[in-house]
Structure 1
Amino acid sequence: MGDTSTTRAHPAAAERGLRVLSTSDLAGIDISLADVVGTVEGAYRALAAGESDNPRKLTVTPADGHSVAYAMLGRDGNREVVAVKTSYKHGLHHGRAEQRYYTTLTLYDDATGLPVAMMDCGRIGALRTPAVTALLARECARPGAASALVIGTGTQGRLTLPFLLTTRPDLERLMLFGTHPDGVHAVREELGRYFPRREVEVVTDLRAAAREADVVVATAGGHTPAAVQADWLKPGALSILVGHGLAPSTLHQADRVVATSEAQMNVTGTDMADETGRLPIVDAEFPAVITGSAPGRGSEHERVFAYNSGLVVTDIALGHRFAQLALDQGLGEQVSLWQ
């Protein structure tokens, strides 16, 4: 699916320094949703085949929890690229508009030993995560799934529906629960941009909407009032946690638990622990599901919970794809960092 070329991004250019790609550089690059999905899927397949390395992420946060930082190192063996991603968010006790967030990705060509590029990773993450959600829905939703509910209208909420329709074009009813009017408008705009003939239904009764949804995707921020309970979900429902909006019961009472990475769920999913601080054992990790070596669900009646945490190998693959496109277009600034 899409262009998943693994040609290295002009590494010879890096001999003169490091190519820096800014937010505006990457914003102007045109890439299809299918290309993004195909690139991310290729990263999972390489990881499942043992060609790539995705160590557990490191995290630090102060005692009062006002900020959080992550560092992720990985290697894409298919593309022969090593990369480091850093992520820092400040102001977690404040609203979204007052928070500060910075994330960068630095790529190195592991065949030549030369740097490829350093880039703002905001757009990479904004596209990678809903692409993973779409792949989870493709592999783990029940056969004949016809309705989807998205909780949240932030960056992830705005792109979830277009990506879901890329892998599940059979979805007939699209629902949205959001508390920010501007965010709701943005979700509609994004859907119309990619699927101009489709409409989203804004719901106010979250419990009733959850009871009718085959796929529930929770992308809301930490201050959301939404908390879908396990007994709200119908048999066969798939719930996908990206941000917030699902109660811990949806995880602990699920018939099957799938995670992009069990180790990362144990680091970043502690808010879903039970009263004893425990998280359940994961039944399958998604790289195994996507390659067919583990099932995404056991039956059409199972309630499946899927934990979508970012794997750096997917950032590497998509970041490298963007670097290829950017360098082909002459974008970015060459800096003499090591001279």
Structure 2
Amino acid sequence: MTETKNQAADAAPGIPADDTTLRILSTSDLAGIDITLTDVVDTVEGAYRTLAAGRSDNPRKLTVRPADGHSVSYAMLGRDGSRNVVAFKTSYKNGLDKGRAEQHYYTALTLYDDVTGLPVAMMDCGRIGALRTPAVSALLARECARPGARSALVIGTGTQGRLALPFLLTTLPDLTRLMLCGTHPEGIAAVREHLRTHFPDRDLEIVTDLRAAAGDADIILATAGGHTTAAVEADWLKPGALTVLVGHGLAPSTLHRADRVVATSEAQMKVTGTDMADASGGFPAVDTEFPPVIAGVTAGRRSAEERVFAYNSGLVVTDIALGHRFAQLAIDQGLGQQVPLWR
């Protein structure tokens, strides 16, 4: 059921409920909300199912990038048909030509109740994206990995790399070998800490020979940043391997020589995945997008031996679903500030 502004007022006495105010949920507000990995996966999966059923809208994102490539900006609009929520998401990163410590990144999500016509909340979208993306990768792995997959390799130790393995184990609990390729000691420690927080009986193997590790892996998640030197080639992969591209760490050959290509959105892959294009700027045809795979309309893979490439680009409907879930939890706890924005 959609959370209306009047319901929000009941949950937080003294906060006015009208069309002149907007609830602002900060980074610290959202950081204090407990949510399980299973809850995140279920919420994201539900958003895909609603989209596949034709009940949600997820237009192609708009992109602005200066000629020198030092920054990139995205704007996304969408509607979740199961929650009756409309939302706008913006994303801006500056300093792509610099090291991670010198970069600036801001992302925000604004939700509106499409039944009452009232705003629900505006929130920092950092934690939403940090959870949504590895949840999507885990769902891609569940649907596209070969039967009996037991080994996984994560490339990168940034925001996406740190929760990749806990989410993978949530959808594929039978994985037995967990490998990590990273170069930053603090990042490696953070990946291990996140894994032990959610799965205290599991540990990971730090690998330095990327080619050998990639050749052993049933699932490879490439989450590294743009400055990485890691680039897994297609001929390193064993039959039946699944490669999932989130950030960087895969060479274009893994896409162009794949037996099957799955994308969360083919249109977005062509916008955000330009580094994977061939010499003429082209992409191979996508065999299926992911929403119909989740819905059981198409197959993530057709045989145990084919090498599958999956492109994980964020769909705003998944941000809306997870953002609305966080907004509900925040409202229940009386979090956030009510700002008289339209007075």
Say yes or no: TM over 0.5. Answer: yes
Match of 1:338 in 2: 342
Structure 1 residue ranges (4+ consecutive) displaced by more than 6 angstroms after TM superposition:
none
CA-CA distance at 1:9 after TM superposition: 5.1
Deviations 1:289-336 (A, max 9, x none): 001101000100000000000000000000000000000000000000
- Inter-partner Cα distance in structure 2 for 1:10 and 1:149: 44
* Residue 181 (str. 1) matches residue 185 (str. 2): yes
Match of 1:117 in 2: 121
CA-CA distance at 1:71 after TM superposition: 0.1
Any residues of structure 2 matched to 1:205-224 within 5 Å, and which? 205-224=209-228
Any residues of structure 2 matched to 1:156-305 within 5 Å, and which? 156-305=160-309
Tell me the amino acid that sits aligned with residue 169 of structure 2.
L
- Inter-partner Cα distance in structure 2 for 1:35 and 1:19: 23
- Inter-partner Cα distance in structure 2 for 1:134 and 1:286: 12
CA-CA distance at 1:7 after TM superposition: 3.5
Match of 2:26 in 1: 22
- Match of 2:40, SS? helix
TM-score by length of 2: 0.96
- Inter-partner Cα distance in structure 1 for 2:52 and 2:79: 13
- Match of 1:138, SS? helix
For the Cα contact (< 8 Å) 2:2–2:84, is it kept in 1?
A: no
For the Cα contact (< 8 Å) 2:263–2:288, is it kept in 1?
A: yes
Identity of aligned residues (%): 78
Match of 1:61 in 2: 65
Match of 1:3 in 2: none
Q: Is there any run of 5+ residues in structure 1 with no aligned partner, and where?
A: 1-5
- Inter-partner Cα distance in structure 2 for 1:287 and 1:145: 22
- Inter-partner Cα distance in structure 2 for 1:327 and 1:229: 47
Tell me the amino acid that sits aligned with residue 44 of structure 1.
Y
Tell me the amino acid that sits aligned with residue 315 of structure 2.
L
Tell me the amino acid that sits aligned with residue 116 of structure 1.
V
2:84 pairs with one of 69, 72, 80: 80
For the Cα contact (< 8 Å) 1:9–1:324, is it kept in 2?
A: no
For the Cα contact (< 8 Å) 1:9–1:323, is it kept in 2?
A: no
- Inter-partner Cα distance in structure 1 for 2:5 and 2:47: 20
- Inter-partner Cα distance in structure 2 for 1:240 and 1:21: 32
Tell me the amino acid that sits aligned with residue 291 of structure 1.
A
Q: Over the residues paired in the alignment, what is the CA RMSD in angstroms?
A: 0.8
- Inter-partner Cα distance in structure 1 for 2:328 and 2:30: 11
- Inter-partner Cα distance in structure 1 for 2:100 and 2:56: 35
Give the count of matched residue pairs.
Answer: 334
Tell me the amino acid that sits aligned with residue 226 of structure 2.
G
Match of 1:97 in 2: 101
- Match of 1:69, SS? strand
Match of 2:12 in 1: none
- Match of 1:19, SS? strand
Q: 1:11 to 1:221 in 2, by over 3 A?
A: farther
* Residue 127 (str. 1) matches residue 122 (str. 2): no
For the Cα contact (< 8 Å) 1:11–1:116, is it kept in 2?
A: no
Q: Is there any run of 5+ residues in structure 2 with no aligned partner, and where?
A: 10-16
